[in-house]
A and B are shown apart, each in its own frame.
Chain A
Amino acid sequence: MTKTKVTKGKRIGMTGDEAVANAAAVINPDVVAAYPITPQTIIVEHFSDFVHDGEVDTEFVCVESEHSAMSACVGASATGARVFTASASQGVALMYEILFIAAASRLPIVMSVANRALAGPINIHGELTDQTMCRDTGWISMFSETAQEAYDNTFLSFKIAEHPDVSLPAMFGLDGFIITHALEGVFPLDRKFSQDFLPERDMKHPTIPGNPVSSGLLALPDYYMEVKYQQELAMTAARKVIPEAFKEFGEKTGRYYDQVESYQMEDAETALVTMGALAGTTKYVVDKLRKEGEKVGMLKVKTYRPFPTDDLAKALKDVDAIGVIDRDLTFGSPGAALYTDIKTSMYDYKDRPQVFGFIAGIGGRDVLVEDYEYIYKQVLKNKGAEKVVPVEWIGLRK
């Protein structure tokens, strides 16, 4: 459950992108290597201001592509440095190759993803596919519902990524334009908090002069599998580290997070499940439906990787049917990213809800209150179906 407590400090108006840049400046990473792309640009621009005004000690490597951005992040992180970057869409796709290497090299790089739809057709608006498509890369992956959450995720990502039991890169998303460009009141944190919450990174085998360690070796069939298995163990460790990090952050800031946030779920028979900014409107719709007497709640999956299977199972134990709203695509699959994960994870539980899938908000299309109400009605209508109901595209021109 998300508890809200009044936080000390003055609330300041900022866009999601500014929030991330501000958080990164408070953290004061050693190296930032990044390349601009809408709707992430403000993060890089804003951070460049901090660098050029001498407000951070960071070396900012303004690279010539996202492939080089991630490559430079890997090189920097390999020395033991604290490293941050930001990207979106085509940029994430361009760095895709190196995302795997960053994770396999166990380098706790943090990247904010200003979630944007992928070309083609080229489009600059909000969609989560640029991050859900990274699910196999080995990165910790979280989403943000608000600018505040994006701000807080910047700190949380470093905390989780750099934990010695985890030592994995972490990305967190904020929906393009809807969060990145919308002005919101954000409670900021300060350097003192940052230094206390994020102790210096302590790398075991850094590539530094005088330390003759070779990293990034060729591993053939005799060893490759063990290396990969260790990555899975690190993800398992993250399942333990993440709630601890959320707890410590909550105690220190008054802002508590959960891997799966429950909203109005106490006696809910039906739930809408989603990620990122869609959760905001979902909450509004849930309130509205509650007023009309509907027993409906919402679950927001905040941590997408590692996937919070247990938390979801717990939250869905007494629920009859759920509508999963995906703002992401994967073609020819049984359903979109969140839907397939939820269905897979729930399958073995005796007390599991029926799962119905919806795809909405693709390429930044507005998802209206009526759309959520329609989704809710469809879930009720399909409840009890004895075969799989195909995933429905919401708000589609036909």
Chain B
Amino acid sequence: MVTTEELKKVRIPKAKVLMNKKDRLAPGHRLCAGCTAGTIARCATLVTDIDDVCIFHATGCLEVATTVYPFTAWRVPWFHNAFENVAATASGAEAAYKVMVKKGKLKKVPDIIAFAGDGGTYDIGLQSLSGALERGHDFVYICYTNGAYMNTGIQRSGGTPMYAATTTSPAGKVIPGKIQWRKDLVAIAAAHKVQYVATASPAAHRDMMTKVRRALDVDGPAFLLIDMPCPRGWRFPEELSVQIAQQAIDSCYFPIYEVYDGKEYVLNPKSKAIANKPERKLPIEEYMKGQGRFRHLFRPEKRDDLIARFQEEVDKEWDYLLKLVNMSK
């Protein structure tokens, strides 16, 4: 059993070492240009041993775009079952690997990563995830959130930001996009008292990779929520993906932090810097105005009321997070 103190000390190899490793996700896949799902998948799998990792995948953009028969972009064992059940699928595989270890057919249970989008996690896959976390299977669940069902044409999910326009929460004449706030998936995962839960961002890639490695080193389930800017669904130029991810951190809409043992909240450098110097916090308007999904808040007339309302929610969540962090000290 890895202790929480040991987990905090887990580091990843230097960039030079990682760069010389063979990508587990090969180029030539069909993700959109600028899609950070590829960035996340490549980074996450790079911190695994190519011969000691198995990937399980929920239906969604990353799955569909990387495995169009008869091609696959994956250089590691990879299995897709359905949309809402990747946690259960990985549970079954993990149980099977355990038996193989018992019977001497396998040295150890490999690193298991389950990838799913926000739709496959916040919504339809929540039960499967909760069951697997509760049962304590040794695997890492990575939810990459692009805040909508992108694969099926940008429909809202429980992770879609308030006021974002999606095809099922359009910016209408009366209703300005999605009217609900996103659900707090990190708190839900942490409430299962698993040893490691964290958020991460492609704008802090080494931090993200370190978190994946920590999650994998846990003897049991671990959960990661990773922000995944989607140029197609969020309507921004594809070269700005990482910049948008950075703004999500800077505005505190997507702070990056860890939760150890379901109770110890730790901010990671980029978010910690803002906690230390609150004046560095980016107004949410700056984050929103660069994305077409919020365009109706700026044109034809600027909706300061709605932007203020959004800011209020961001502030509330951020303040609450800071409270949790301070309580953990």
**A residues at B contact (CB < 8 Å):** 30-31, 33, 57-59, 61-65, 67-69, 71-81, 83, 97-98, 101, 105, 207-220, 223
Residues of chain B with a CB closer than 8 A to A207's CB: 54, 77-79, 93
CA gap between A210 and B94 in the complex, in Å: 15
- Are A81's CB and B99's CB within 8 A? yes
Q: Which residue of A lies closest to B107 (CB)?
A: A209
Is B131 part of the binding interface, using a Cβ–Cβ cutoff of 8 Å? Answer: yes
- Are A57's CB and B102's CB within 8 A? yes
- Are B93's CB and A75's CB within 8 A? yes
Residues of chain A with a CB closer than 8 A to B89's CB: 71-72, 74-75, 78
- Are A61's CB and B135's CB within 8 A? yes
- Are B76's CB and A218's CB within 8 A? no
Chain B 216-240 residues near chain A, CB threshold 8 A: none
- Are A31's CB and B99's CB within 8 A? yes
Q: Point out the residue from B56, B72, B91 that lies within 8 Å of A68, measured CB to CB.
A: B91
Instruction: Identify which of B60-68, B180-188, B290-298 touches chain A.
Output: B60-68
Name 13 A/B residue pairs within 8 A (Cβ), A-sorted: A64-B127, A67-B84, A75-B79, A75-B81, A75-B93, A77-B96, A209-B110, A210-B52, A212-B50, A213-B77, A214-B80, A215-B78, A217-B68
Residues of chain A with a CB closer than 8 A to B64's CB: 218
Q: List 14 other contacts, CB 8 Å, given A67-B84, A78-B93, A81-B100.
A: A30-B100, A33-B88, A57-B103, A58-B99, A63-B131, A71-B128, A79-B100, A97-B82, A207-B78, A208-B77, A209-B51, A213-B77, A216-B81, A220-B69
Interface contact tally, CB-CB below 8 A: 165
Residues of chain B with a CB closer than 8 A to A73's CB: 92
- Are B67's CB and A68's CB within 8 A? no
Is B33 part of the binding interface, using a Cβ–Cβ cutoff of 8 Å? Answer: no
Q: Which residue of A lies closest to B74 (CB)?
A: A214
Is B90 part of the binding interface, using a Cβ–Cβ cutoff of 8 Å? Answer: yes
Given A61-B135, A71-B85, the answer on whether A216 and B96 have CB atoms closer than 8 Å is: no
CA gap between A212 and B95 in the complex, in Å: 20
Residues of chain B with a CB closer than 8 A to A97's CB: 82
Residues of chain A with a CB closer than 8 A to B68's CB: 217-218, 220
Q: Which residue of A lies closest to B131 (CB)?
A: A64
Q: Which residue of B lies closest to A65 (CB)?
A: B127
- Are B81's CB and A101's CB within 8 A? yes
Q: Which residue of A lies closest to B90 (CB)?
A: A75
- Are B103's CB and A209's CB within 8 A? no
CA gap between A76 and B95 in the complex, in Å: 7
Chain A CB within 10 A, most for which of B54, B78, B102: B54
Question: Smallest Cβ distance from B299 to chain A, in angstroms?
Answer: 37
CA gap between A83 and B89 in the complex, in Å: 13
CA gap between A74 and B50 in the complex, in Å: 23
Is B97 part of the binding interface, using a Cβ–Cβ cutoff of 8 Å? Answer: yes
- Are B92's CB and A71's CB within 8 A? yes
CA gap between A10 and B253 in the complex, in Å: 70
Question: Smallest Cβ distance from B84 to chain A, in angstroms?
Answer: 7
- Are A98's CB and B81's CB within 8 A? yes
Q: Mark B113-141, 1 if CB is under 8 A from A, else 0.
A: 00000000000000110111011000000
Q: Which residue of A lies closest to B103 (CB)?
A: A57
- Are A219's CB and B69's CB within 8 A? yes
Is B98 part of the binding interface, using a Cβ–Cβ cutoff of 8 Å? Answer: yes
CA gap between A61 and B135 in the complex, in Å: 8
- Are B99's CB and A208's CB within 8 A? no
Residues of chain B with a CB closer than 8 A to A219's CB: 69
Residues of chain B with a CB closer than 8 A to A216's CB: 57, 67, 79-81
Question: Smallest Cβ distance from A291 to chain B, in angstroms?
Answer: 53
Q: Which residue of A lies closest to B137 (CB)?
A: A61
Is B70 part of the binding interface, using a Cβ–Cβ cutoff of 8 Å? Answer: yes
- Are A217's CB and B80's CB within 8 A? yes
Q: Which residue of B lies closest to A79 (CB)?
A: B96
